[in-house]
């Protein structure tokens, strides 16, 4: 008498599922975007640039899914701001890429303390259905905060494996669109990528899933931003959904 609904056909051949964390499992993209906005707008103002950071379009295009340093460098380059890279321990500021990244970290940590991030209900439902079907799951993130965020949202117990920014740093794994984080998660689940699925909301993450040779790459578009679903398909998503309930059999009992 399991209450979990059956999995949709596309997931049935899959032996493991690797989930991106921010924006897929947790409603944390808004927190990240707000923190980036504080860091970048200080920098843009200092450079005399009138156009502020766009927390939807610029976030999706330049920083979503990337490590903090890679994201800072990508956005600043998009506005023609050639800041020196700086050093990893630069204090928060506007003078180097590392200082801008540190400012984002400071702002994000403050936002986390104010309340953390909630889980997406459709993701929780899918995780329970996968557990009922005996499919092990991993959570992957470029963020060093991912494990803490998953724990705070009550999701940590649903994952056999978590590969977060701390693991990536320790193992020297490259960030997305390199598939190293996803491949490490599959390795820890003892399932080859060709028998596993990736669920991702960032363009660089979808590309990483494709490059990693995963059997199924699911793009998640909760942004409603024009063209984002098409961009996810172009980067290699086999299917794009706006609700992970679409990966369950329609009409089945919740």
Binding site for Mg ion (CB under 5 A): 20, 22-23, 201-202
Report the residue number, 12 or 234, with the smaller CB distance to Mg ion.
Answer: 234
Report the residue number, 23 or 193, with the smaller CB distance to Mg ion.
Answer: 23
SS3 assignment, position 7: strand
Give the active site residue among 20, 64, 70, 164.
20
| Contact criterion met (CB below 8 Å) for 194 and 168 | no
Task: For residues 55 and 84, give the distance between their C-alpha atoms in angstroms, rounded to a whole number.
Answer: 24
Task: Spell 76-112 as b/e; 16+ CB within 10 A means b.
Answer: beebebebeebeeebebbbebbbbbbbbbbebbeebb
* Residue whose beta carbon is closest to Mg ion: 23
* Paired tokens of 91: 């204090």
Distance in Å, CB of 108 to Mg ion, minimum: 14
Distance in Å, CB of 29 to Mg ion, minimum: 7
SS3 assignment, position 248: strand
Residue 252 falls in which region: left (phi positive, over 0), alpha (psi -120 to 50) or beta: beta
Active site residue 20: yes
Report the residue number, 37 or 141, with the smaller CB distance to Mg ion.
Answer: 141
* Paired tokens of 66: 């990337």
Report the residue number, 4 or 149, with the smaller CB distance to Mg ion.
Answer: 149
Distance in Å, CB of 1 to Mg ion, minimum: 35
Report the residue number, 44 or 138, with the smaller CB distance to Mg ion.
Answer: 138
Distance in Å, CB of 146 to Mg ion, minimum: 10
Dihedrals φ, ψ of 78, to 5°?
-65, -25
CA dihedral 203, 207, 209, 214 (to 10 degrees): 140
Distance in Å, CB of 28 to Mg ion, minimum: 8
Give the active site residue among 22, 27, 58, 201.
22
Active site residue 122: no
The 10 Å Cβ neighbour count of residue 37 is 18
Task: For residues 150 and 162, give the distance between their C-alpha atoms in angstroms, rounded to a whole number.
Answer: 9
Q: Which of 119, 168, 108 lies closest to 140, judged by CA?
A: 168
- Positions marked active-site: 20, 22
């Amino acid at each position: 008498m399991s209450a979990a609904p059956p999995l949709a056909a596309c997931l049935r051949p899959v032996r493991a599922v690797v989930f991106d964390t921010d924006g897929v499992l947790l409603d944390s993209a808004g927190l990240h975007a707000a923190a980036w906005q504080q860091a970048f707008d200080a920098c843009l103002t200092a450079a005399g640039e009138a156009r502020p950071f766009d927390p939807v379009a610029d976030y999706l295009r330049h920083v979503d899914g990337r490590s903090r340093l890679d994201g800072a460098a990508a956005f600043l380059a998009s506005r023609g701001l050639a800041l020196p890279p700086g050093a990893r321990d630069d204090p928060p500021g506007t003078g180097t890429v590392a200082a801008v990244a540190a400012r984002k970290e400071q702002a994000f940590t403050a936002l986390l303390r104010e309340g953390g991030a909630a889980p997406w209900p459709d993701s929780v439902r899918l995780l329970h259905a996968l557990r009922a079907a005996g499919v092990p799951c991993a959570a992957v993130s470029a963020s060093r905060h991912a494990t803490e965020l998953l724990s705070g949202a009550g999701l940590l117990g649903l994952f056999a494996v978590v590969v977060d920014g701390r693991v990536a740093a320790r193992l020297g794994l490259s960030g997305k669109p390199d598939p190293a984080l996803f491949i490490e998660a599959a390795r820890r689940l003892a399932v080859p990528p060709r028998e596993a699925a990736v669920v991702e909301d960032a363009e660089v993450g979808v590309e990483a899933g494709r490059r990693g040779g995963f059997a199924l790459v699911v793009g998640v578009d909760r942004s409603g931003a024009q063209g984002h679903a098409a961009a996810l398909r172009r980067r290699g998503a086999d299917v794009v959904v706006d609700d992970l309930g679409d990966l369950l059999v329609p009409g089945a009992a919740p």
